[in-house]
A and B are shown apart, each in its own frame.
Chain A
């Protein structure tokens, strides 16, 4: 049998090779996106690649972020692991630290062409844990039928709520972090999160005041009848799709699903600015990591495919596809004139600061810890229990240094 399989592999399969690609998505996305839809997103890239290697097939499998570590361990122990893993930058670093993906290097011309901030997120000693392929900034989604013009400032957001529009916010770090920028508290929060373990320096009074100001606005917003707080982004998206909410912050990665549900009624705009300046928009970086089980041929083809995806032309094509992402190649300016959504994405991407939550090189376990603290501190605040002062002290106390 093995001899037969070897001959099969040697003769027939050289012409028709396969690459195994794992797409790692949130458990929310896993329940609504299927393999066929993902294959459509990869189709433009594969079409380009087929000109170089016509027989290549891409086998796509989907996993949730919660399961991927365990699955990689199990599958790579059998030699049946992936060649490529599409994942968030934070998780790629985690997987590299656990020895589940291999380090790669980039040709100098490409290193220079990619956004340094994005490359920095996946840099490891001697190379990269993965290669970035797209950015997915956070934006605001609104229902055009209920809200003809999206709010541009936090004040407008609350006045729209007072005028009868339903606003949904989530208490997840990424769902609420953006408002800290609009209220001038993002840098103070970033300093809080990047404290060294054992650092006993007291938090600066200015930082304390900035954080309290941010919490005061959240408390004030929660007192509005039509501003609803949810525990996670999935509930917010569900409420928006069901027509219970008219305005929500959303990741560009969920735009396709929202568009499938709302059609032309879906409007996309940058998140509102505030007295503290632009929002501290989060931007997820989608990266491609490389598995351990690939044959030399598969390794070469996998790298060729990823390098092709970084080509300016392909990057532009990807940003115009259903994927709705922002290119990472600096020489691939997104064609904003052809899409209002893309224009909103690019403008949101410009709000991403170097001290944005996802630029802090936090691990996924750090993010989970932060998420728990934020939920624990903010939940009483938004339901009207406790004061902003207490919440500020609790946040400073509990946000654990890494």
Chain B
């Protein structure tokens, strides 16, 4: 197959035997080199395509006047023009209207690759015919003849589906969320399920388009099952775990889990791993999906999003416990970050030599803010104790 394609490409070099082709390439190369060298000499920095376009047109002019073919130079000028158009579209239409991450995703994953693909196809169609190249046979796969055209079509469609399904899936999940009253986490889960569904349908279409018959699919499945037993077991396990988590809804984007004692928010449920964000150090954790099946996970958002927090303190035994407990509950009640229901609760935990141990429990609405509220309460307790002349007592070891 490679030999055949190489042989095909070698055949195109026959164009280089033609003076009319060589003179165009020479002039086009000259234009591109000059455009490159102008980069730092212009007072205003201009993109390469903007510098190259007028030079290419300038080079095409003498050929036109001499009645010589200049279509190759003009073809490169067209590519430059299209590149300028793409740049304008990105800069003045998309960038101001889209969030930064969406714009960058769209540009790097969709617009630029599609532009590059169209340029390559255009150049191939210039030296050959795409319809003929599409019929180049690549061999027989599982009893079905596969051509370069069908394979390329499948690769391009699958790529566009993987990259381009983001927007329609998000739109559908938003609509469903609005009509069904789903929360943010459920909407994001639905979005992922929709994307995986689209990609799965695309894969089935691809296999059908490639002409895979049932026997072929069974053979693939057989080979895959052997592979699963060895090399790709972990990957497959993580993939299935990811799908399971989505459908079960136990771990969804937006949920707050305790990982290594720290509350973390689930940001993205991927095919292989789940991405979590840890607020204490602004770190992103990539946790393999199967970890959620093999270890205990603490969630603060499984049935509701409130978190019960607590703090411990020791006070000298000369202060009455009832007075201390009322004071602690009053401080907690007055703090804006503490929920009124369930109410804050102080309790006497232990007697020590010269000290009493207390615990203050309270609820917060946002699990990720538990640490911040706890710290604020400690500060207010310190200030209140200082005003009342109450002293903390270090526990005696």
Contact A34:B135 (CB < 8 A) given known A13-B16, A61-B128: yes
Q: Is the CB of A18 within 8 A of B14?
A: yes
User: What A residues does B102 contact at CB under 8 A?
Assistant: none
Contact A80:B21 (CB < 8 A) given known A2-B26, A62-B129: yes
Residue among A5, A77, A294, A298 making CB contact with B71, cutoff 8 Å: A77
Q: Does A1 contact B (CB under 8 A)?
A: yes
Q: Does B198 contact A (CB under 8 A)?
A: no
In the bound assembly, the distance between CA atoms of A20 and B21 in angstroms comes to 14
Residue among B11, B13, B22, B69 making CB contact with A78, cutoff 8 Å: B69
Residue among A5, A16, A62, A295 making CB contact with B131, cutoff 8 Å: A62
Q: Is the CB of B14 within 8 A of A19?
A: yes
Main secondary structure of the interface of A (DSSP, over half): mixed
In the bound assembly, the distance between CA atoms of A12 and B18 in angstroms comes to 14
Interface flags for B1-42 (1: CB within 8 Å of A; 0: not) read: 000000000111111111111101110111000000000000
Q: Does B228 contact A (CB under 8 A)?
A: no
Q: Is the CB of A298 within 8 A of B21?
A: no
Q: Does B70 contact A (CB under 8 A)?
A: yes
In the bound assembly, the distance between CA atoms of A77 and B78 in angstroms comes to 14
Q: Is the CB of B18 within 8 A of A293?
A: yes
Interface flags for A268-296 (1: CB within 8 Å of B; 0: not) read: 00000000000000000000000001110
Interface flags for B100-139 (1: CB within 8 Å of A; 0: not) read: 0000000000000000000000000011110110011100
Q: Is the CB of A293 within 8 A of B20?
A: yes
Q: How far is the CB of B36 from chain A (nearest CB, A)?
A: 12
In the bound assembly, the distance between CA atoms of A75 and B26 in angstroms comes to 18
In the bound assembly, the distance between CA atoms of A277 and B127 in angstroms comes to 51
Could you tell me which residues of chain A, from 55 to 95, have a CB within 8 Å of some CB in chain B? 57, 59-63, 74-80
User: What A residues does B10 contact at CB under 8 A?
Assistant: 16, 57
Main secondary structure of the interface of B (DSSP, over half): helix
User: What B residues does A75 contact at CB under 8 A?
Assistant: 71, 126
User: What A residues does B69 contact at CB under 8 A?
Assistant: 76-79, 293
Chain A minimum-CB-distance residue to B71: A78
Contact A295:B25 (CB < 8 A) given known A36-B135, A78-B71: no
Q: Is the CB of A61 within 8 A of B29?
A: no
Residue among B17, B25, B132, B136 making CB contact with A1, cutoff 8 Å: B25
User: What B residues does A371 contact at CB under 8 A?
Assistant: none
Q: Is the CB of B21 within 8 A of A63?
A: no
Chain A minimum-CB-distance residue to B70: A77
Chain B minimum-CB-distance residue to A18: B14
Q: Does B72 contact A (CB under 8 A)?
A: yes
Residue among A9, A20, A35, A77 making CB contact with B22, cutoff 8 Å: A9
Q: Is the CB of A57 within 8 A of B11?
A: yes
Q: Is the CB of B132 within 8 A of A62?
A: yes
Q: Does B206 contact A (CB under 8 A)?
A: no
Contact A78:B17 (CB < 8 A) given known A1-B29, A16-B10, A62-B132: no
Q: Does A201 contact B (CB under 8 A)?
A: no
User: What B residues does A5 contact at CB under 8 A?
Assistant: 16, 22, 25
User: What B residues does A60 contact at CB under 8 A?
Assistant: 132
Q: How far is the CB of A128 from chain B (nearest CB, A)?
A: 24
Residue among A59, A61, A294 making CB contact with B18, cutoff 8 Å: A294
In the bound assembly, the distance between CA atoms of A206 and B22 in angstroms comes to 63
User: What B residues does A74 contact at CB under 8 A?
Assistant: 71
Chain A minimum-CB-distance residue to B68: A79
Interface flags for B130-166 (1: CB within 8 Å of A; 0: not) read: 0110011100000000000000000000000000000
Q: How far is the CB of A374 from chain B (nearest CB, A)?
A: 31
Q: Is the CB of B14 within 8 A of A17?
A: yes
Q: Is the CB of B132 within 8 A of A61?
A: yes
User: What B residues does A13 contact at CB under 8 A?
Assistant: 13-14, 16-17
Q: How far is the CB of A182 from chain B (nearest CB, A)?
A: 39
Q: How far is the CB of A272 from chain B (nearest CB, A)?
A: 37
Q: Does A242 contact B (CB under 8 A)?
A: no
Could you tell me which residues of chain B, from 206 to 224, have a CB within 8 Å of some CB in chain A? none
Q: Is the CB of B14 within 8 A of A59?
A: yes
Q: Does A162 contact B (CB under 8 A)?
A: no
Q: Is the CB of A57 within 8 A of B72?
A: no
Q: Does A340 contact B (CB under 8 A)?
A: no
In the bound assembly, the distance between CA atoms of A5 and B21 in angstroms comes to 10
Q: Is the CB of A298 within 8 A of B29?
A: no
Q: Is the CB of B17 within 8 A of A35?
A: no
User: What A residues does B127 contact at CB under 8 A?
Assistant: 80
Q: Is the CB of B12 within 8 A of A59?
A: yes
Could you tell me which residues of chain B, from 268 to 320, have a CB within 8 Å of some CB in chain A? none
Q: Does B327 contact A (CB under 8 A)?
A: no
Q: Does A51 contact B (CB under 8 A)?
A: no
Q: How far is the CB of A365 from chain B (nearest CB, A)?
A: 25
Q: How far is the CB of A74 from chain B (nearest CB, A)?
A: 7
Q: Is the CB of B135 within 8 A of A35?
A: yes
Q: Does B81 contact A (CB under 8 A)?
A: no
Q: Does B75 contact A (CB under 8 A)?
A: yes
In the bound assembly, the distance between CA atoms of A367 and B26 in angstroms comes to 44
Could you tell me which residues of chain A, from 372 to 393, have a CB within 8 Å of some CB in chain B? none
Chain A minimum-CB-distance residue to B133: A35
Q: Is the CB of B72 within 8 A of A80?
A: yes
Q: Is the CB of B131 within 8 A of A6?
A: no
In the bound assembly, the distance between CA atoms of A16 and B11 in angstroms comes to 9
A-B contacts, 29 of them at CB < 8 A, read: A1-B25, A2-B25, A5-B25, A9-B13, A13-B13, A14-B17, A18-B11, A18-B12, A18-B17, A20-B14, A20-B15, A34-B135, A35-B135, A36-B135, A36-B136, A59-B14, A61-B129, A74-B71, A78-B75, A78-B126, A79-B15, A79-B20, A79-B69, A80-B71, A80-B72, A293-B21, A293-B69, A295-B17, A297-B17
On A, residues with C-beta under 8 Å from B are: 1-2, 5-6, 8-9, 12-14, 16-20, 30, 34-36, 57, 59-63, 74-80, 293-295, 297-298
Q: Which are the 9 A-B pairs with shortest beta-carbon distances?
A: A18-B14, A78-B71, A79-B20, A9-B16, A77-B71, A34-B135, A2-B26, A79-B69, A2-B29
On B, residues with C-beta under 8 Å from A are: 10-22, 24-26, 28-30, 69-72, 75, 126-129, 131-132, 135-137
Known: A1-B29, A59-B128, A78-B72; 19 extra A-B contacts, CB below 8 A, are A2-B29, A5-B16, A6-B16, A6-B22, A18-B17, A20-B15, A34-B135, A35-B132, A35-B136, A57-B14, A61-B129, A61-B132, A62-B132, A77-B71, A78-B24, A78-B69, A79-B15, A80-B126, A294-B18
